[in-house]
Amino acid sequence: MALVKAAVCHEFGKPLSIEDVELRAPISGEVEVTLAAVAICHSDISYADGAWGGSLPAVYGHEAAGVITAMGDNVTGHQVGDKVVVTLIRACGTCPACAAGTPTICQTAYDGDKGPLTMPDGSKLHQAMACGAFAEKVVVDQSQIAEIPEDMSSTCASLLACGVITGVGAVVNAAQLRAGQDVVVIGAGGVGLNAIQGARIAGARRIVAVDMSEDKLEIAKEFGATHGVLATEDKPWRAAKEALGGRGADAVLVTVGAAPAYDAAPNYLAYGGKMIMVGMPHTGAVSTYEAANFAAVGQSMIGSKMGDVVVPRDIPWMADLYEQGRLKLDELVSGTWTLDQINEAIADTKTGTAKRNVIVF
């Protein structure tokens, strides 16, 4: 067992506490990664605020990058010293979902209460989202990592663990967008910006960003949006359809966790269009739809978790796109902070002005 510093949540809605915690060595199939960077995702904040419940005390954090410093038995394809991205996608590789090529919905349950973390007195410490990356080191399953180029910035690479793959993957994998199709992205935050650049990379004809902030709409255009529409307008889908030449979108991606956004989303769809459900509202939030409207014109609702990515397939090609200058990552980093500053970084993220704040070690 090793002592590492971590940001611990003892009570929902309260500041995280920087403490020394115990991290056991990796066992069979696991790797230890000494972290260089971990980004703050809105999902971490929602969990820490109690939006989805969960076990406490807990260590959150799931967008990380670092170097492998130890390995258990039966780890293949990796070695100590490899630079890697650490994700929350823990896949058994053999359940029906994994066998079908959808590891993001692996059906093998993981109990974070029995993971590698404990409090110094040996009591329970929940490894949230199978990562617990608001810490100096993590121990995770080998399925959760992907190697990245040695010269790639860990600060940028950490974003590939969630926000980037979720947005880009939702377009490429879930929507299966074809070149020449039209896209509406509701929400121009971290995930939304990546959905926008995913649509650009996939060859979308026109990309309409919808947000409540004029400033965010201008930023969205830097990432590839061809048009911006304020969500506060009266029936903003009319302006979106006008921007698309009088028709709806082939794919509407909802990247914000807000029920009202889901209520409005079908209004943006073309006949045969797909509504891709990415953002996660709080538990109990409900949206309603007229089913006949979807059936009558062949529309669909598709849930997309973590961009439906396959970690060893999708993260390397996105890292390559970044190195070619075709995928923006540096521009997503709003600021860097130390672990001791994590509560300030979270507060800054909550203002809604930050794209991604990153803790660096």
> Mind listing the pLDDT tens digit for each residue in 77-135?
999 999 999 999 999 999 999 999 999 999 999 999 999 999 999 999 999 999 999 99
In angstroms, the CA 67 to CA 30 distance is: 14
What residues contact 58, with CB distance under 8 A and at least 6 apart?
A: 8, 9, 47, 112, 125, 126, 127, 128, 132
pLDDT tens sequence across 142-158: 999 999 999 999 999 99
Would you say residue 338 has pLDDT above 90?
A: yes
pLDDT, mean over the chain: 96
pLDDT tens sequence across 32-46: 999 999 999 999 999
Would you say residue 354 has pLDDT above 90?
A: no
Closest listed residue to residue 227, CA positions, set 274, 183, 273: 183
Phi, psi values for residue 330, rounded to 5°: -55, -40
Would you say residue 353 has pLDDT above 90?
A: no
Exposure class string for 149-173: b at 16+ Cβ within 10 A, else e:
eeebbbbbbbbbbbbbbbbbbbbbb
Q: How confident is the model at residue 196 (pLDDT cuts 50, 70, 90)?
A: very high
- Range 198-213 average pLDDT: 97
In angstroms, the CA 341 to CA 183 distance is: 38
Q: How confident is the model at residue 334 (pLDDT cuts 50, 70, 90)?
A: very high
Would you say residue 18 has pLDDT above 90?
A: yes
Q: How confident is the model at residue 1 (pLDDT cuts 50, 70, 90)?
A: confident
In this prediction, what percent of the chain has a pLDDT beyond 70? 100
What was the pLDDT predicted at 352? 83
What was the pLDDT predicted at 263? 96
Q: What residue ranges define each of the domains in the chain, with the CATH number in brackets?
A: 2-161+328-360 (3.90.180.10), 166-305 (3.40.50.720)
Would you say residue 252 has pLDDT above 90?
A: yes
Would you say residue 10 has pLDDT above 90?
A: yes
Would you say residue 28 has pLDDT above 90?
A: yes
In this prediction, what percent of the chain has a pLDDT beyond 90? 98
Would you say residue 299 has pLDDT above 90?
A: yes
Answer yes or no: are the C-beta atoms of 60 and 88 closer than 8 Å.
no
Name the packing angle between helices 214-222 and 190-202 (round to 10°).
40
Would you say residue 335 has pLDDT above 90?
A: yes
